[in-house]
Structure 1
Amino acid sequence: MSEPNPSLLSHISVGSNDFERATAFYDAVMPTLGARRIEAFPGAVAYGKAFPEFWVQTPLDGARASIGNGTHFGFIAESPQAVDAFHAAALAAGGSDEGAPGPRPQYGAAYYGGYVRDPDGHKIEAAFWDEALAGAT
């Protein structure tokens, strides 16, 4: 029997109203986090490190995709430099700034993150948790 997966989530999906623009954006951004395209189907692409963790797709019901107010998706970065690269790649690929990379002491001394909106308006984040700083005041 294999070891249990320590992750809480299986995957996240976001809808897009311009699939080609969205996949061009995520093709540029996800490699900064060590992720790659794992699956591709008409109207759906999955990115991940080991399995399809993050999907971009056209809505299955044919209705327009919409964003959630108060919703955002946080990706794990391997270092503060990866957070910086994620943020820069997202802006260069057509995203908009929602919070420059940097420490976020309101979330703990160990937290370093950066926020952007993708071209469809979804708020996404890359975050690094520095265990060496965890519990510091």
Structure 2
Amino acid sequence: MDDIPSIISHVSLGTNHFDQSVAFYDRVLEPLGCRRLMDYPGAVAYGKMFPEFWVQTPFDGQPAGVGNGTHVSFIAMNKEAVHAFYEAALAAGGIGEGEPGGREEYGAEYYGCFVRDPEGHKIEAAFWDESQSQG
């Protein structure tokens, strides 16, 4: 999976509580092997190799909002990382939206979990277990 390029350059989520959100993502992304790569006033970027995920105050100065039907999914390298992400999220003030496990509707290869961050954004950690492939 490491050699499969992503179709996304980066994703940004707005925050109205910058310090709280950064503390949350510092803790939650660590089990997935992500780290802070850039720090700016009002913006922090996380990633493994380049800034793939940003938490920031909106540039237009308006309040940040949560998108209905929108969520961000992070790649987990195994099921244990999915569990560690979920536990870290709950411990850091997140709200569970779907415990770690398979989801029949996503196929046999999928194993993941869903949480809401302190701002209310829906985030996910997903592991794709190719050994479970039916084909």
TM-score normalised by structure 2 residue count: 0.96
Please list every run of 5 or more consecutive structure 1 residues that lacks an aligned counterpart in the other structure: none
Look up the SS of the partner of 1:22 in the other structure.
helix
Tell me how far apart the structure 1 counterparts of residues 56 and 113 of structure 2 sit (CA, whole Å): 24
The within-5 A match list for 1:25-64 is: 25-64=24-63
The within-5 A match list for 1:37-116 is: 37-116=36-115
- The one-letter amino acid of 1:44's match is A
- The one-letter amino acid of 1:43's match is G
| Structure 1 position 83, deviation (Å) | 0.2
Tell me how far apart the structure 2 counterparts of residues 27 and 114 of structure 1 sit (CA, whole Å): 18
Tell me how far apart the structure 2 counterparts of residues 43 and 135 of structure 1 sit (CA, whole Å): 45
Superposed CA offset, 1:107-126 (max 9, x none): 00010010000000000000
Number of residue pairs matched by the alignment: 133
- The one-letter amino acid of 1:131's match is E
Counterpart of 1:135?
134
Look up the SS of the partner of 1:8 in the other structure.
coil
Tell me how far apart the structure 2 counterparts of residues 132 and 63 of structure 1 sit (CA, whole Å): 46
| Structure 1 position 5, deviation (Å) | 7.3
Counterpart of 2:123?
124
Tell me how far apart the structure 2 counterparts of residues 30 and 40 of structure 1 sit (CA, whole Å): 16
TM-score normalised by structure 1 residue count: 0.94
- The one-letter amino acid of 1:101's match is P
Look up the SS of the partner of 1:20 in the other structure.
helix
- The one-letter amino acid of 2:77's match is E
Look up the SS of the partner of 1:128 in the other structure.
strand
Across the aligned residues of Structure 1 and Structure 2, the Cα RMSD in angstroms comes to 1.3
| Structure 1 position 105, deviation (Å) | 1.4
Superposed CA offset, 1:94-115 (max 9, x none): 0000000001111000100100
Please list every run of 5 or more consecutive structure 2 residues that lacks an aligned counterpart in the other structure: none
